[in-house]
């Protein structure tokens, strides 16, 4: 744990000379835009699908919340609240993934039941 705290301090102070901090910054640079684009892309697709009604707006609101919290991360870097703000931002993305996964599982199980009824 002390190693992680030390590495985080190196990132905050701008010392990116170690392999760990360079990898951290590289992966964050790749993953943050992709994480933000997920709900936005699905919002555009789901707004035309009647079966997913409501989840389109939910995806748009989730995108906005992640954008606001992610922007807020920039203002608390190095401060005492940096960890909690970062974790809340990640929690928003994870709960969106969970909600969408549950909806997908329910949709697929309903389709399977409908297919079985039409086959018999």
pTM over 0.75? The answer is no
Closest CA to 52 of 119, 120, 112, 108: 108
Task: Give 14's DSSP letter.
Answer: T
User: Alpha-carbon torsion 112, 39, 22, 70, what sign?
Assistant: negative
**Quick one: pLDDT at residue 15?**
60
pLDDT over threshold 60, residue 9: no
Q: How far apart are CA 23 and CA 37, in angstroms?
A: 22
Do 73 and 84 meet the contact criterion of CB atoms below 8 Å apart?
A: no
- pLDDT tens per residue across span 74-102: 788 778 888 888 899 899 999 999 999 99
Q: What's the token pair of residue 25?
A: 């910054």
- pLDDT tens per residue across span 18-74: 777 788 788 888 888 888 899 999 998 888 888 888 999 999 999 999 999 988 887
């Amino acid at each position: 744990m002390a190693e992680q705290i030390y590495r985080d301090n190196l990132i905050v102070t701008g010392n990116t000379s170690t392999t760990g901090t360079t990898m951290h910054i590289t992966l964050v640079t790749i993953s943050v835009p992709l994480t933000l684009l997920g709900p936005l892309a699905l919002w555009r697709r789901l707004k035309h699908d009647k079966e997913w009604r409501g989840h389109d707006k939910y995806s748009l609101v989730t995108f906005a919340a992640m954008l606001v919290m992610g922007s807020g991360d920039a203002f608390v870097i190095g401060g005492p609240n940096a960890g909690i703000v970062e974790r809340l931002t990640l929690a928003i993305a994870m709960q969106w993934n969970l909600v969408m996964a549950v909806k997908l599982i329910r949709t697929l199980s309903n389709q399977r039941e409908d297919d079985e009824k039409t086959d018999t």
